[in-house]
Amino acid sequence: MNKFPRIALLSFHTSPLATLGGSVSGGMNVYIREISKRLIDKGFQVDIFTRREGQELPLILELSDGLRLFNIDAGPPIVVNKNDLSSWIDNFTTSVKKTIENFDYDYDLIFSHYWLSMLAGETLANDWNVPHIGMFHTLAEVKLEALASENEPQERLEAERRLIGKLDRIIAATSDEEEIMRTIYGVPANNINVVPLGVGPDFFEERTQKQAREKLNFIDEDKIILAVGRVEPLKGLDVLIRAMSHIDNKLVYQLVIIGGDKAASTEIIRLKNIAKQVGISHKVKFIGSVDHSKLPVYYRSADVVAIPSFSESFGLVAVEAMASGVPVVASDVGGLALTVEHGRAGFLVQPGCSDQFGEKINLLLCDAKLRHKFARVGVENMKSYSWDAVTLQLCNIFQSLLEDRSKISITSEVAGA
């Protein structure tokens, strides 16, 4: 094994540098960025491969010493709906192999994110004879079961079922996700490692709500309900908007929604129409996509963070909100059910239930002591979710796989002697 193991990290359908809140950018992008930086500190070398989405983007971006991002040509150099990208997987795989032909090194393992990347990773792992680790982030079958996704390609359903049994190791974000993989997909428990998503130190900074609101030009007297993430039906923002009819009429509040790009324009129009029907158009503010580094100040400006998703494999927004000292009202699904301590750091409610969301949000808005109590518990609970701790767990998994592969190689050489 090399002194500095080299990882090929595949993020085919979205660049980790993409601004959060876009149609395909979210927790996965944050995860890749944060983990990659810290893997370098642990002695790994990391090359990230993503599909080029802009003609002006260079082939190679040196992000830091030992960390590079490759923009690989595969299909037109524009943003393409992720459901239409599978036809470019072979081009991407071939381009990756050609791109690294001029470098005098090999990769020790492949870390693929999302099913599209795993299709490329499957071929590359066979060609390079290296371990293939995968993280699905979401699974189509789970989304369909939650009635949260109107359409998942049959190709994805079939690919995930096949790929999930071929990976050398699967990284699951929660024990709930692990259980789903074991019961629905029949994956052996020893082939799955549970490693949570993390949160950076910026979210734990102790700044006052007043300071945050001054920076954002928010009215200090208003109550702020914050929602963060992609703007799509899966996220249940229509449920949240309807929940506002349950807020006390005496309260002056704003519902601030962060996320959404051009691809989300149809959904944003639908949500604005719902806000108009409910009679709160003037109280709903669509911020658009926000760079992740600027999110802490938005969290700290809020009184409550609402996460009405129908499905969440982990729920990074909940972790970031609680680390920022803000109570959470979230759907009782997936990773949210495990991350949010109900009745102590926030409330979990039935997904899709506007009246429950409204009642719990209203309770927190009307009770400052309860908000502060939940905030203290949330911050304390999130201290174990540091990115450094998460990266250390991954390093141990990678090293174990590499050592096992090295032993197999040595045994094979002895047997053939």
Burial environment of residue 62 by CB neighbours within 10 A (0 to 12, 13 to 18, 19 or more): exposed
Sheet holding 192-194, edge to edge: 60-64, 67-72, 45-51, 6-10, 109-113, 132-135, 169-172, 192-194
Per the CB < 8 A criterion, the answer to whether 11 and 50 are in contact is yes
201-384 matches 6-195+386-416 in CATH topology: yes
Q: Give the H/E segment covering residue 47.
A: strand 45-51
- Considering the domain delimited by 201-384, tell me its CATH architecture: 3-Layer(aba) Sandwich (3.40)
Tokens of 235: 């996220």
Q: What is the structure's pLDDT at 412?
A: 47
Record the tokens describing residue 218, joined without a space: 């928010």
What separation in angstroms does the CA of 307 have from each of 195, 345, 372, 412?
22, 14, 19, 52
Report d(CA 176, CA 164) in Å as an integer.
16
Tokens of 410: 């040595």
The hierarchical CATH code for the domain 6-195+386-416 is 3.40.50.2000
The model's pTM is 0.79
pLDDT at position 416 is 54
Per-residue pLDDT for the chain (417 aa), expressed as one digit of tens each? 446 899 999 999 988 887 654 444 567 888 999 999 999 999 999 999 999 999 999 999 999 999 999 999 999 998 888 888 999 999 999 999 999 998 888 999 999 999 999 999 999 999 999 999 999 988 888 878 766 555 788 999 999 999 999 999 999 988 888 999 999 999 999 999 999 888 888 888 877 899 999 999 998 889 999 999 989 998 999 999 999 999 999 999 999 999 988 878 999 999 999 999 999 999 999 999 888 889 999 999 999 999 999 988 788 999 999 999 999 999 999 889 989 999 999 999 999 999 999 999 999 999 999 999 999 999 999 988 889 989 999 999 999 999 987 765 544 444 454
Positive or negative, the Cα torsion across 354, 359, 365, 368? negative
Domain residue ranges in the chain: 6-195+386-416, 201-384
- Residue 256 backbone phi and psi in degrees, to 5: -105, 120
* Residue 20 · residue 61 · CB < 8 Å: no
pLDDT at 148: 52
